[in-house]
Amino acid sequence: EAGVVQSPRYKIIEKKQPVAFWCNPISGHNTLYWYLQNLGQGPELLIRYENEEAVDDSQLPKDRFSAERLKGVDSTLKIQPAELGDSAVYLCASSQGGSFYEQYFGPGTRLTVT
């Protein structure tokens, strides 16, 4: 069974540019999470989807960050415009229906903003 797929794995952009990250969850998993992991820190939840609905986006900085999950499968996280402080690893995770199930994490996208 394929795991959570994320792309790109690495991205380097200049500040003020836009950037997008893509996540393909495990087949059949209808809960999808985006996390932010700063260097030397643990992951912090940005947004959680149940199917195509964002049920918890309280930690998403909505002035520059946006996310979508069309058709309740793949998801895209976007930053526009990027700032130097956005340099971090962006993790995607998925789980089966409902929150009692284990979260499976992708390898992450490492973003560097110069």
Partner 1 sequence: GNSVTQMEGPVTLSEEAFLTINCTYTATGYPSLFWYVQYPGEGLQLLLKATKADDKGSNKGFEATYRKETTSFHLEKGSVQVSDSAVYFCALSTTRGNEKLTFGTGTRLTIIP
Question: Which x/- pattern, by CB under 8 A, does the window 14-33 give for partner 1?
Answer: -----------------x-x
Q: Verify binding: residue 103, partner 1, rule CB under 8 A.
A: yes
23, 48, 67, 86: residue in contact with partner 1 (rule CB under 8 A): 48
CA distance 2 to 4: 7
In this structure, the number of other CB atoms found within 10 A of the CB of residue 56 comes to 13
CB of 46 to partner 1, least distance (A): 12
| 99 contributes a contact to partner 1 by CB under 8 A | yes
Residue 32 near residue 69 (C-beta atoms within 8 A): yes
User: Any idea what the Cα angle at residue 60 is, between residues 69 and 87, rounded to 5°?
Assistant: 100
Residues that bind partner 1 (CB under 8 A): 3-4, 31, 33, 40-45, 48, 56, 91, 93, 98-108
